[in-house]
């Protein structure tokens, strides 16, 4: 966890200026001079539709609160992808005896999960906030927060069999570049055996999480701040962390992201999620409706998958215990066929 409403102020100012100039013209000029209007960005409609799918948990085609695998492990901060061999793959972390362990599980219906193995967390420090992507050649890239010295660790698996067996082909550990304290909560924009493009947060001034993006060729690392994303969330009065995110989700030919923001620093009950529009650089604050009325949401992911032969948006979010409804705290999984 760790808007289009202001679209472009300069356009509004320019239109006001033109209007004032028109007011000084003669009636004849007014009949021939017409103001030009600016149409809404083309991504506005798709974003509104997508927002409806994400906000309305109660109308989802399938949902489960406080998700656990078949061994009873909590599936915190779950990321789900399609398994090229059939079904679905999920990676998540579980706190066990005070240490985060990163696990992998499989499912045939998105709501019931069979634990396969622990992938990290027992031997070289805690491992949390995992994400995963399949490559074009049958391999898998995973990235997570690695302890000690909270940083990003990348692992490549040559096949689904190797992933199930925990057989790692190669790894890379990214050095801190934007914070001396912590860099984590990765999402994967693109991945292969030769390069990985990720989003992540850095602990700005060792005080609050802010957004960043980095790339590696498995031997070197470069990273940069993503202030435009920060500004889109700060617009909503966020004063705490801007942490985990997921994307891209391509919906109706436009790219979107989900991002968490903490209204008040240190208050887990003020976590909310935002739908970020990569076309406009703006974000919508989401008003999520659960069956019981939980109010705080964090660590969002969304993925376009096929469910029952139909395309569907699969969403996961972590519901903190603060301001949660009875029985809803923990990992929420839901999907909507489209």
- For 188, the domain range is 44-337
Asked if residue 150 and residue 12 are part of one domain, the reply reads no
Contacts of 252 by beta carbon, 8 Å cutoff, 6+ apart: 45, 46, 49
> What pLDDT does residue 21 have?
35
- The tokens for 127 are 């491992």
Asked if residue 202 and residue 151 are part of one domain, the reply reads yes
Three-class SS state of 11: helix
Residues 128, 75, 266, 276, Cα dihedral to 10°? 90
Asked if residue 292 and residue 144 are part of one domain, the reply reads yes
Calculate ∠ Cα 299-305-310, nearest 5°: 135
Q: How far, in Å, CA of 119 to CA of 103, rounded?
A: 5
> What pLDDT does residue 39 have?
79
Asked if residue 151 and residue 21 are part of one domain, the reply reads no
> What pLDDT does residue 25 have?
39
Asked if residue 176 and residue 306 are part of one domain, the reply reads yes
Asked if residue 324 and residue 230 are part of one domain, the reply reads yes
Asked if residue 75 and residue 30 are part of one domain, the reply reads no
The long-range contacts involving 252-258, CB below 8 angstroms and separated by at least 24 positions, are: 252/45, 252/46, 252/49, 253/46, 254/42, 254/43, 254/46, 254/47, 254/278, 254/279, 255/279, 256/47, 256/50, 257/199, 257/229, 258/54, 258/300, 258/301, 258/302, 258/315
Three-class SS state of 338: coil
Asked if residue 155 and residue 243 are part of one domain, the reply reads yes
> What pLDDT does residue 124 have?
85
Asked if residue 111 and residue 16 are part of one domain, the reply reads no
- For the chain, how many structural domains are there in total? 2
Asked if residue 56 and residue 19 are part of one domain, the reply reads no
Q: Is the peptide bond before 248 cis (omega within 30 degrees of 0)?
A: yes
CATH number of the domain encompassing residue 227: 2.115.10.20
* β-bridge mates for residue 304, sequence order: 313
Q: How far, in Å, CA of 211 to CA of 228, rounded?
A: 9
Asked if residue 139 and residue 281 are part of one domain, the reply reads yes
β-pairing verdict for 330-337 and 310-319: antiparallel
Asked if residue 301 and residue 234 are part of one domain, the reply reads yes
- pLDDT per 10-residue tile (average), the chain, 338 residues: 41 33 38 53 96 98 98 98 97 97 98 98 94 97 97 98 98 98 98 98 98 98 98 98 96 98 97 98 98 98 97 98 98 97
Three-class SS state of 75: coil
Q: What distance, in Å, lies between the first and last C-alpha atoms of the chain?
A: 29
- The tokens for 169 are 């082909």
Q: How far, in Å, CA of 162 to CA of 43, rounded?
A: 40
* β-bridge mates for residue 172, sequence order: 154
């Amino acid at each position: 966890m760790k808007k289009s409403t202001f679209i472009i102020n300069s356009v509004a100012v320019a239109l006001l200026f033109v209007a004032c100039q028109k007011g000084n013209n003669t009636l004849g000029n007014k009949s021939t001079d017409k103001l030009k209007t600016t149409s809404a960005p083309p991504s506005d409609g798709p974003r509104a539709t997508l927002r409806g799918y994400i906000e309305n948990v109660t109308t989802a085609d399938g949902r489960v609160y406080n998700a656990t695998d078949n061994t009873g492990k909590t599936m915190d901060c779950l990321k789900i992808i399609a398994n090229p061999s059939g079904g679905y793959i999920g990676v998540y972390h579980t706190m066990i005896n005070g240490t985060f362990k990163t696990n992998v599980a499989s499912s045939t219906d998105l709501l019931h999960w069979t634990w396969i193995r622990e992938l990290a967390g027992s031997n070289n420090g805690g491992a949390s906030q995992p994400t995963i992507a399949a490559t074009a050649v049958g391999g898998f890239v995973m990235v997570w927060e690695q302890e000690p010295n909270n940083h990003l660790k990348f692992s490549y698996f040559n096949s689904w069999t190797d992933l199930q067996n925990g057989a790692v082909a190669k790894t890379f550990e990214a050095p801190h570049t934007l914070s001396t304290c912590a860099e984590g909560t990765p999402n994967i924009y693109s991945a292969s055996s030769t390069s990985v493009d990720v989003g992540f947060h850095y602990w700005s001034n060792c005080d609050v999480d802010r957004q960043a993006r980095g790339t590696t060729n498995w031997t070197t690392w470069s990273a940069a701040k993503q202030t435009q994303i920060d500004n889109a969330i700060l617009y909503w009065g966020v004063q705490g962390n801007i942490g985990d995110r997921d994307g891209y989700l391509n919906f109706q030919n436009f790219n979107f992201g989900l991002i968490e923001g903490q209204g008040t620093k240190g208050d887990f009950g003020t976590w909310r999620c935002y739908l970020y529009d990569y076309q406009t650089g703006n974000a919508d604050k989401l008003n999520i409706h659960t069956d019981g009325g939980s109010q705080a949401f964090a660590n969002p992911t969304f993925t376009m998958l096929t469910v029952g032969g139909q395309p569907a948006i699969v969403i996961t979010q972590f519901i903190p215990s603060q301001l949660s409804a009875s029985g809803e705290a923990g990992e929420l999984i839901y999907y909507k066929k489209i």
